[in-house]
Amino acid sequence: MNKMKCEYCEVAKGKIKSEVVYEDKEVIAWMKDMAAFPGQVCVMPKEHFTILELVPDLVVDKVFKIANKISIAIFESLGVQGTNIVVQNGTAAGQKVPHFCVEIIPRKEGDNLNLDWKPKNLMDDEMDTAYLMLKEESEQLVVGQDKPIREVLKDEKTEMIVEKDGEENYMLKQLRRVP
């Protein structure tokens, strides 16, 4: 069977030349040559995941934290007035390359880049049905609500060090501060 190569995986492996602005062992952020605006950056996991729902929570967290820092850098270095943070999640949402990524698009007043969509009035029964379906499904998604954080971390099989030399991990301490 002939496996198609993922263009973004090729970038992550260094096989396609790209302007990398950030890289570590799990995440890479690079400037796209085909962009909506100069300075547009793609932040993605190096490991291949086609859509957001397949990406492990810890990787999603890291990708978005890096996207946040790069957005700050874009504001400061390019003198823009805004950024759009976009995830095209699936072909129906406009995803062209089957590799999850977060796009950071620099914006300036009057740049004529139109990312607006027109909301439409929905029937009450459409809204009620969608709400009930989402509410029921989302109740299944809550992770660790009734478990201590140590058990949640253990269940997710993270590599995070909970304690080292009898001292509590700083990251764990920060997690406990979240309401």
Buried b (16+ CB within 10 A) or exposed e, 8-37: bbebbeeeeebeebeeeeebbbbebeeebb
Q: What is the separation, in whole angstroms, between the first and last Cα of the chain? A: 49
Q: In this predicted structure, what is the pLDDT of residue 143?
A: 56
Q: pLDDT at residue 165 above 80? A: no
Check whether residue 92 and residue 148 sit in a common domain: no
Residue 126 domain-assigned (yes or no) = no
Residue 125 domain-assigned (yes or no) = no
Check whether residue 16 and residue 103 sit in a common domain: yes
Q: pLDDT at residue 163 above 80? A: no
Nearest-CA neighbor of 80 among 115, 107, 104? 107
Better pLDDT: 53 or 148: 53
pLDDT in tens, 63-110: 999 999 999 999 999 999 999 999 999 999 999 999 999 999 999 998
Residue 82 domain-assigned (yes or no) = yes
Check whether residue 150 and residue 86 sit in a common domain: no
Say if CB 54 and CB 18 are below 8 A apart: no
Check whether residue 169 and residue 81 sit in a common domain: no
The rounded distance, in Å, linking the Cα atoms of 114 and 84 is 11
Residue 103 domain-assigned (yes or no) = yes
Say if CB 16 and CB 4 are below 8 A apart: no
Check whether residue 98 and residue 25 sit in a common domain: yes
Q: In this predicted structure, what is the pLDDT of residue 131?
A: 86
Q: In this predicted structure, what is the pLDDT of residue 105?
A: 94
Q: In this predicted structure, what is the pLDDT of residue 33?
A: 80
The domain in which residue 64 lies consists of 7-107
Check whether residue 102 and residue 159 sit in a common domain: no
Say if CB 35 and CB 18 are below 8 A apart: no
Residue 167 domain-assigned (yes or no) = yes
The rounded distance, in Å, linking the Cα atoms of 134 and 94 is 23
Q: pLDDT at residue 166 above 80? A: no
Q: In this predicted structure, what is the pLDDT of residue 35?
A: 83
Q: Which of 58, 86, 107 is the last residue of a domain?
A: 107
Other C-beta atoms within 10 Å of 67: how many? 24
Check whether residue 86 and residue 147 sit in a common domain: no
Check whether residue 161 and residue 101 sit in a common domain: no
Number of domains in the chain: 2
pLDDT in tens, 111-149: 888 877 788 888 888 888 888 888 888 877 655 455 544
Considering the chain, what percentage of its residues have pLDDT values greater than 90? 50
Residue 120 domain-assigned (yes or no) = no
Q: pLDDT at residue 178 above 90? A: no
Considering the chain, what percentage of its residues have pLDDT values greater than 70? 76
Q: pLDDT at residue 43 above 70? A: yes
The rounded distance, in Å, linking the Cα atoms of 114 and 176 is 40
Check whether residue 40 and residue 85 sit in a common domain: yes
Residue 130 domain-assigned (yes or no) = no
Check whether residue 142 and residue 100 sit in a common domain: no
Check whether residue 88 and residue 21 sit in a common domain: yes
Which 8-state DSSP code applies to residue 93?
G
Say if CB 148 and CB 168 are below 8 A apart: no
The rounded distance, in Å, linking the Cα atoms of 165 and 177 is 22
Q: Which of 64, 85, 107 is the last residue of a domain?
A: 107
The rounded distance, in Å, linking the Cα atoms of 123 and 26 is 44
Residue 69 domain-assigned (yes or no) = yes
Check whether residue 26 and residue 77 sit in a common domain: yes
The residues facing 28 across adjacent strands are 23, 44
